[in-house]
Structure 1
Amino acid sequence: MSNDQRQVGFDGVWLPDSEDPRHQDKPAVGELANYRDYLRHYRLTLELKCQDLGPEDLAKQSVPPSDLSLLGLIRHMARVEQSWFQRVLKENLDLPRLDADDPTGGFHKVEPTQESVDEAFASWREQVAAADEWLDTIDDSVLGETRDVGRGGEPISIRDILVHMIEEYARHAGHADLLREVIDGRTGQ
């Protein structure tokens, strides 16, 4: 893609700020609310990076030699949401992992079909909704409580898990930026 084809600056952003769903709420007040605000922001960012693309583009491994794809990122984040919220935070370590047969964490085995896209997004949205449902049950006072991660390591605090989730989404939103830019030149938000 040539520099002339790239869409950058304000003309290349996804939405005007007034229409950006990530900026519609009042500023967060409190530690947990702040974590949830960042988590919501990055979840929406990942979703926006996938918006208006068909199965072929979502499954495209557009930044060689990496085999990452936007669809693989959605699948991976469904697995991450399930692992941390359903298994660790809800203390249900016996729950089978999503994509347990994929040792790459959901990144691979992507099919460029509408069915695969629908399944991946449904799974991700289901896990996000379940995580948010659990988050609705806690407040700032429990953020220092710890959970067993099931790997024989030291327990980790709820606070650290939430920060890790934000970190995980931020990292993969950066990957999504590059993947999307190569697909159709879109940059921004």
Structure 2
Amino acid sequence: MTIEFPSPTDPAADRAEVFVRYLDYFRESLLAKVSALPEAELRSSRLASGWTPLELVKHLRWVELRWIEWGFQGRPVGDPWGDRRDDRWHVADSETVDELAAALRAQGVHTAAVITGTDLAAIGQPGPRWDGAPPPPLERICFHLVQEYARHLGHLDIVAELAGGPVGE
């Protein structure tokens, strides 16, 4: 699926729609870059930090889960750090790019429903996500998610270029 960049000049009903458009764009751009990489590049790393493109896909799904479900909504999550093992991102050998992409997209559907169905000024539920700090409003969480995606998509741009994959937007 290809989504055009959400130009600031495109009309939007409200700020929630703007956040959803950017998150959808970044999510689909990330998945397009990952799906264009050769299979061998998906589970290997070209970086000293050691993360792989598949680990990044899984990580971003869990980022949305932690910030929206576990944090803002205050839902119990059995293992909110399920994208990690031994203090680093982890993808099991049995996990496929298709499964991870589907999980990320499904999480995105949930995120979009929360953003469009909730006042952006609403304050998140108190809980362990905030580590004792007061919960932030949904709008601040949305800003955080946008910057998280933008930053990681930039990282993936470099990895894809090194791997001979697609470059640019």
The bucket for the TM-score relative to the shorter chain is: 0.7 to 0.9
Q: Does 1:87 align with 2:76?
A: no
Give 2:139's aligned residue: 159
Equivalent in the alignment of 2:29: 45
Q: CA deviation at 1:131?
A: 1.5
5+ long unaligned stretches in structure 1: 1-18
- TM-score (norm: length of structure 2): 0.82
Larger Rg: 1
Deviations 1:109-167 (A, max 9, x none): 453x6x432332232222112222323422xxx21221135211122111100000001
Q: Could you tell me which amino acid in structure 2 is paired with residue 86 of structure 1?
A: E
Give the structure 2 partner of residue 72 of structure 1: 55
Distance 1:42 1:175, change over 3 A: same
Structure 2: gaps of 5 or more residues: none
What TM-score do the two structures reach when normalised by structure 1?
A: 0.74
Greater RCO (CA < 8 Å, at least 6 residues apart): 1
Instruction: Quote the Cα distance in structure 1 between the aligned partners of 2:158 and 2:71.
Output: 31
Question: 2:101 aligns to what SS in structure 1?
Answer: helix
Deviation at 1:185, TM superposition (A): 4.8
- Deviation of 1:98 after TM superposition, in Å, equals 5.5
Distance 1:169 1:158 in 2: 17
Identity of aligned residues (%): 25
Deviation at 1:59, TM superposition (A): 1.3
Q: 1:145 aligns with which of 117, 122, 129?
A: 122
Map 1:98-113 onto structure 2 (within 5 A). Answer: 99=82, 102=85, 104=87, 107-109=89-91, 111=93
What CA distance in whole angstroms lies between the structure 2 residues aligned with 1:172 and 1:23? 16
**Which of residues 105, 108, 120 in structure 2 aligns to 1:128?**
108
Which amino acid in 1 is paired with 2:37? L
Instruction: Give the Cα–Cα distance (whole angstroms) in 1 for the partners of residues 70 and 77 of structure 2.
Output: 6
CA change 1:100–1:50 in 2 (3 A) is: closer
Name 1:55's counterpart in structure 2: 39
* Per-residue Cα deviation, 1:43-77 (whole angstroms, up to 9, x for no partner): 122112112334321112023x1212111110100
CA contact (8 A) 1:82 1:98 kept: no
Distance 2:84 2:145 in 1: 23
